Structure 1
Amino acid sequence: MPKLKVIPLGGLGEIGLNMMVYETEKDIIIVDSGIMFPEDYMLGIDMVIPDIRYLYDPEKKKKIRGIVLTHGHEDHIGAIPYVLREFNIPIFGTPFTLGILEEKLKEHDLPFKVSLFTVKTGNTITLGDFEIEFIRVAHSIIDGASLAIKTPVGTIIHTGDFKLDQTLEKDAATDINRLAYYGDRGVLALFSDSTNIEKEGFTISENDIKKTFRNIFRDNETRIIVALFASNIHRISELLSLAAEFNKKVIFSGRSLMTYTKVARKLGYLSIPEDILIDEETIGYYKPEELLILTTGTQGEAMSALSRISVDDHKYVKIKPNDLVLMSSKFIPGNEKAISKIINNLYKRGAEVYYENISEIHVSGHASKEELKFMINIVKPKYFIPVHGELKHLYQHKKLAVNSGISPSNVFVLENGNSLEFNEGSECMRGADVYSGRIFVDGKGIGDVGAHTLKERAHLSENGMIIVQLVVDSKTSNIISGPDIVSKGFVFEDYFKELNEILHKLVMNVIEENQKREKENVDWVKVKDDIRKALKKYLNKNIDRHPFIFPMITEI
């Protein structure tokens, strides 16, 4: 009897790491493979990728037919270079999605040529037991797709990220008719984006934001700097159009912005008015009011163009009094402090700043509650599974599905590693859990940093450290040099001079007691432990501090 197993390896109970496995007896497809940007406690981590060891089994490896991508955002494609280190498998996506991925893959030295297959929305591919149609959806990046996945047990609709903005041009708006087509013919299960379930009504149209921007351009005869996501080609196109309308030259500042616009222009998704673009180096030849600067760094990324501009560390762009900075993006949870720091620095240098809390200069790329309800009603699934969101989003989406007429027993809230099994009789039940998790990427290291290392980093960042250095004679156990005591991130150096004398005496007492007891056979490993205990006890009791203590004893 045919069966279908569905397993989320990332993206459920969190924002990011989107990765879903669809598996039959003979075949496996993977939908999306994204990263998550590090949370506050992940000190030194560059990014987080899904743990895919479930797929390492040789029998499962043989079954993988490819990765199918819904769109080109990092939380959906960012982990692919790391997945490809384990599996040389083909990748399928729309033209812009693969164009962005191709640029990303150039940064990774993979030992083989990656097979990329372009699929335009409206077209269908067959991968083993799976027949997959790409259905056009609107999002904050162009060329997004929902997937209609025909399987041996029924049709699955996997929405990807979407909104139902019907004011967009025909080739950019969500194809509601095609989604309804599948709804009329019977959908086994709907896996639907849950990001904006807490927002009532409908998501504001991108075209409404253009009106806001036009008013700002009209009312401010000054230099305008717009920070936005580099992937939002539709908004970049709107801003270029306004720049031409108001006779402004445009500067692109930020590597990702250059990459995304290059791909969009190459594929015909972005048309730039003639002679409107200028290089950053020529900024001094123009009056401030003649310039529009588009830049990246809306989430407070430390090395982004906007971050460097805000601290006067950008080679060409220097904030001037009366500059107007528009933060045209949502504040992603966890990034608020970093973003606020940039805004404060911009104000400090004389700029006026508009951001989402005080001005409607951004619209979400995700469907709000009424659109999510509409999706359920037109697809009419037997089973409903909310995806792409924290647990609070998934449970709110479950409530919406039940209120829309789906039986509570047919709605499943999953977490990463949970599985669902569908059989030929269109029955669905929870399957056995599989291993899932997060892998930290730190520089070129992948998976070599774990929870214990992060805990140590947090301890160091909060409490500092004290290093005790000592060189001894291995034969006589006499001290050759030291003990020298150094602190980092612990207390002010001036104060440490006085404390250093006390700690030095404590260390000498420990050494002398061990020398007296053991003569020439001192156990220096034990001495290290004794030093650590003695200093820890004193510091805890007298100044209520808890630094890392590193005794370093060299025997020669």
Structure 2
Amino acid sequence: MSHPHPELSAPKKLKKGGLRVTPFGGLGEVGRNMTAFEYDGRLLLVDCGVLFPEDHHPGVDLILPDWSSIRDRLDSVEALVLTHGHEDHIGATPYLLRERGDIPLVGSELTLALLGSKLREHRLRETTHYVVKEGMRISFGPFDLEFVAVNHSIPDALAVAIRTGAGTVLHTGDFKMDQLPLDGRITDLRAFARLGEEGVDLFLVDSTNAETPGFTPSEKKITPVIDQVFRESTQRIIVACFASHVHRVQQVLDAAHAHERQVGYVGRSMVRNMGIARDLGYLKVPPNTLVDAKELADIPPQHQVLLSTGSQGEPMSALSRIAQRTHNFVHIEEGDTVLLASSLIPGNENAVYRVINGLSRWGARVVHKGNAMVHVSGHASAGELLYCYNIVRPKNVLPVHGEIRHMQANAALARSVGIENVVLAEDGVVVDLVDGVASVAGKVPCGYVFVDGSSVGDITESDLKDRLILGEEGFISVIVVVDTVSGTVSGRPEVHARGFAEDDKVFEDVKPDVVSALERMLAEGTTDTYQLQQTVRRVIGRWVNKTHRRRPMIIPVVIES
């Protein structure tokens, strides 16, 4: 088994007839999935998603894949294939199209419809797009693509087989093997088996649930639990789930209809996505069930259901604003039931529990994955992955989509059924398929690209570190006027603080130390303002650390009089 090494050098030129695979995101984290395939000087991209920021990314809106290593080769891109319509697979596409606006887009009907809405939001014209479905084959340059139906937590998901002169790659996208899906569309294992018979040279496999033993439960398993919540609730019900989880919304609409309740969508993305799903026939709305959310105020609470975004505790989401009682027309009341019908994305736990506590404080009953079977995963567990390995029997395996531990667990599963060549990579680690053998060929620069307002890529890790210090430790500014001719400090230093001390008088004790340290430097002939500022920073920093055990950001300003 190959392990990526942090000291890997840049990859050498791809051997003629070989296929190069470069992940720009999604290997080492759950999100921002994007992979480039290179053959004969041409490129094919699969997915282009975002990662949502965590608590240690203050001020960041989104995190994009880092495609900087191919930025000067975007004219070589034959197409962008989108396996399904989740944000972590399509959300970064508008940012890519800002750099080359005519990249052909390939995906299923629902996926491209959701993306089209996103492109209009970004005021980008829709580029050439190809609507594909399972069983279809289509070629772009040297890449011959075949699409395979897979089941996931959004309709119309596809795996893609990529045939090239170097061999056949099968990329699962995100998938599971629900045998009783709500829409009747199962993962096509017959197609997997047929491709396996032809010979799969490299198998890229979703790792998200590889640590979970057994099989992922069917979506239908949560139907009785939702029904029970509706049966037991005597007042309003608020359901929070992902704005793209059409199957979950379908279950809520069906339960509402059965219990004579009316449903309103809350949250712009929920309204938009479910409108698209309904228009395309993926969502069946029972008669007299759906109303505008603002109209629910005129309906008795026992007949109301609100379907909301914000199941991950996002600060600006509808559910967070409801929990804080800052939503413009939804006010939580004692006796309301809130159903969090989603998983906890790693890193979001604190935010979700803040929302749960906020809702509970106002007297709501909160039903979530921790106390009821209200969510099933959209990803294949270990038992399903073993089935796939035995059916496909690939020559080489590259685990994708997951944190390091998920990919290592996936690699162990592949090895357990006798697949010897399993390559573990991370974002930026280049894997070459040459003469039927996959191996690590080097590494390209690949970091986080932060979106902050309208700024893309301008925020660095260092900037985030400064923001965290400001948020956690506070900020101190020190202004000192010096007379470099007489070698004295004019007046007393001016010290102001934010997020550190309520009263600036706490600094009276350290001001004489600042003055004496500066006058000592001046007496030794130091007049460089930068060196004098560093002296101020050291004196204040030592004092704060000693007396308050804090490490605030210190901004010293030395002015020559």
TM-score normalized by the length of structure 2: 0.91
- The one-letter code sitting in structure 2 at the alignment partner of 1:28 is L
- The one-letter code sitting in structure 2 at the alignment partner of 1:381 is P
Tell me what 1:82 maps to. 95
1:528 aligns with 2:541: no
Residue among 462, 466, 477 paired with 1:452: 462
Residue among 229, 245, 264 paired with 1:251: 264
Q: Relative to structure 1, is the Cα distance of residues 275 and 378 closer, same or farther in structure 2, using a 3 angstrom cutoff?
A: same
Determine if contact 1:510/1:527 at 8 Å carries over to the other structure. Answer: no
1:137 aligns with 2:150: yes
Shift of 1:479: 8.0
SS in 1 for 2:121: coil
Work out the CA distance in 2 between the residues paired with 1:525 and 1:230.
52
Determine if contact 2:170/2:202 at 8 Å carries over to the other structure. Answer: yes
- The one-letter code sitting in structure 1 at the alignment partner of 2:21 is V
1:541 aligns with 2:541: no
1:231 aligns with 2:236: no
Tell me what 1:14 maps to. 29
- The one-letter code sitting in structure 1 at the alignment partner of 2:532 is V
Tell me what 2:66 maps to. 51
Shift of 1:98: 0.9
Shift of 1:470: 4.8
Work out the CA distance in 2 between the residues paired with 1:372 and 1:405.
14
Shift of 1:2: 2.3
Determine if contact 1:13/1:391 at 8 Å carries over to the other structure. Answer: yes
RMSD, aligned α-carbons: 2.3
**Structure 2 stretches of 5 or more lacking a match?**
1-15
Q: Can you list the C-alpha shifts for 1:372-409, whole angstroms capped at 9, x where unaligned? A: 11111222212122111112111211111122232x2x
1:411 aligns with 2:422: yes
SS in 2 for 1:146: strand
Work out the CA distance in 2 between the residues paired with 1:128 and 1:372.
31
Tell me what 1:491 maps to. 501
Residue among 141, 147, 164 paired with 1:151: 164
Work out the CA distance in 1 between the residues paired with 2:85 and 2:459.
27
Shift of 1:474: 9.8
Tell me what 1:428 maps to. 438
Work out the CA distance in 2 between the residues paired with 1:463 and 1:317.
36
1:257-276 → structure 2 map (5 Å cutoff): 257-276=270-289
Deviating more after overlay: 267-276 vs 503-512: 503-512
1:502 aligns with 2:509: yes
Q: Relative to structure 1, is the Cα distance of residues 366 and 32 closer, same or farther in structure 2, using a 3 angstrom cutoff?
A: same
SS in 1 for 2:283: coil
Tell me what 1:194 maps to. 207
SS in 1 for 2:328: coil
Work out the CA distance in 2 between the residues paired with 1:505 and 1:418.
55
Determine if contact 2:396/2:437 at 8 Å carries over to the other structure. Answer: no
Q: Can you list the C-alpha shifts for 1:490-536, whole angstroms capped at 9, x where unaligned? A: 1233xx42x23223434444565667777xx9554443233222222
Q: Can you list the C-alpha shifts for 1:32-62, whole angstroms capped at 9, x where unaligned? A: 11111123322222221121122124xx334
Tell me what 1:464 maps to. 474
Work out the CA distance in 2 between the residues paired with 1:523 and 1:105.
53
Determine if contact 2:480/2:559 at 8 Å carries over to the other structure. Answer: yes
Deviating more after overlay: 24-33 vs 483-492: 483-492
Work out the CA distance in 2 between the residues paired with 1:515 and 1:436.
46
- Count of matched residue positions in the alignment of Structure 1 and Structure 2: 545
SS in 2 for 1:551: strand
Work out the CA distance in 1 between the residues paired with 2:356 and 2:467.
28
Residue among 348, 355, 378 paired with 1:365: 378
Work out the CA distance in 2 between the residues paired with 1:54 and 1:102.
27
Deviating more after overlay: 17-26 vs 501-510: 501-510
1:99 aligns with 2:100: no
SS in 1 for 2:424: coil
SS in 2 for 1:419: strand
Shift of 1:421: 2.1
Work out the CA distance in 1 between the residues paired with 2:492 and 2:382.
68
Q: Relative to structure 1, is the Cα distance of residues 254 and 19 closer, same or farther in structure 2, using a 3 angstrom cutoff?
A: same
Percent of aligned pairs sharing the same letter: 40
1:307-346 → structure 2 map (5 Å cutoff): 307-346=320-359
Determine if contact 1:320/1:351 at 8 Å carries over to the other structure. Answer: yes
Shift of 1:277: 2.0
Shift of 1:249: 0.9
- The one-letter code sitting in structure 2 at the alignment partner of 1:49 is L
Determine if contact 2:63/2:451 at 8 Å carries over to the other structure. Answer: yes
Work out the CA distance in 2 between the residues paired with 1:54 and 1:550.
36
Determine if contact 1:465/1:490 at 8 Å carries over to the other structure. Answer: yes
- The one-letter code sitting in structure 1 at the alignment partner of 2:153 is S
Shift of 1:259: 1.4
SS in 2 for 1:269: coil
Residue among 78, 81, 92 paired with 1:68: 81
Work out the CA distance in 2 between the residues paired with 1:67 and 1:184.
27
SS in 2 for 1:106: helix
SS in 2 for 1:16: coil
Deviating more after overlay: 298-307 vs 200-209: 200-209
Work out the CA distance in 2 between the residues paired with 1:341 and 1:101.
31
Shift of 1:370: 1.0
Shift of 1:431: 2.0
Q: Relative to structure 1, is the Cα distance of residues 282 and 411 closer, same or farther in structure 2, using a 3 angstrom cutoff?
A: same
